[in-house]
Amino acid sequence: MTRPDLPFLLRRKPARARAASLALLALLALPRVTAVDSPVPAPAASFQTFTYAGHDAVFEPPLAPGHFRNPILTGFNPDPSICRVGEDYYLTTSTFAWFPGLPIYHSRDLVNWRLIGHAIDRPRQLDYTGLTVSRGLFAPAITHHDGIFYITCTMVGGGGNFVITATDPAGPWSDPVWLDAGGIDPSLFFDDDGRAWLVNNDEPPEPPR
């Protein structure tokens, strides 16, 4: 049996049949599309907090009397500040945008140090929102006067200079009191007459001469 010409079929069919045939021909003329499964994205790792600790065997053996290691305080402890109260020494360091902030160390010999707390250990004390790791708490200075411990510090990118206080260096420490002083790296000096002076690094108040 021979197949009639396609034009002949289209001429002989009713209008609806011709329309259906044309639609079928249009579909057949389209390029073939091969279905491809979309790749499933790999699950993304996320976390809110993590704890970092390092252990170096070099620092495990006890020191002989009269000896010390350099650095005397290992790990993440930049910009140390020390004050002495009687036979006790207390030390704090920069912590930038890490929390808890401003660790407090205690020593009796300036060689062996023990962590006793953090001056910034409550989320409501400071607002870290939006701070990168190169911002935050820089160069704290710890001081003692008349039974009260003071820490002055700069919150870079988050408010400027502030002071916090405590009667026990292990805590709790007060909420920050913001200082009306610019610059960076503030520290307190208590004079013999009882007056307190704020020493910091800032632009000179007048043009240099």
Give yes or no for residue 128 having a pLDDT over 70.
Answer: yes
For the entire predicted model, the pTM comes to: 0.71
User: Per the structure block, which two tokens stand in for 102?
Assistant: 């401003």
Integer CA distances (angstroms), 162 to 95, 151, 177, in order = 15, 8, 5
Cα 23 to Cα 65: distance, rounded to the nearest angstrom:
98
pLDDT at 117 over 60: yes
Inter-residue contact 178 to 152 (CB < 8 Å): no
Instruction: Give the whole-angstrom CA distance, residue 72 versus residue 52.
Output: 20
Q: What is the pLDDT of residues 135-182, one digit of tens each?
A: 999 999 999 999 999 999 999 999 899 999 999 999 999 999 999 988
Q: Which of 5-9, 39-43, 157-161, 191-195 has the lowest mean pLDDT?
A: 5-9
> What does the angle CA 134 – CA 140 – CA 141 come to, to the nearest 5 degrees?
160
CATH topology assigned to domain 76-201: Tachylectin-2; Chain A (2.115.10)
Euclidean distance between CA atoms 34 and 63, whole angstroms: 73
For residue 74, the model assigns a pLDDT of 83
Among the ranges given (10-19, 126-135, 199-208), the one the predictor scored with the smallest mean pLDDT: 10-19
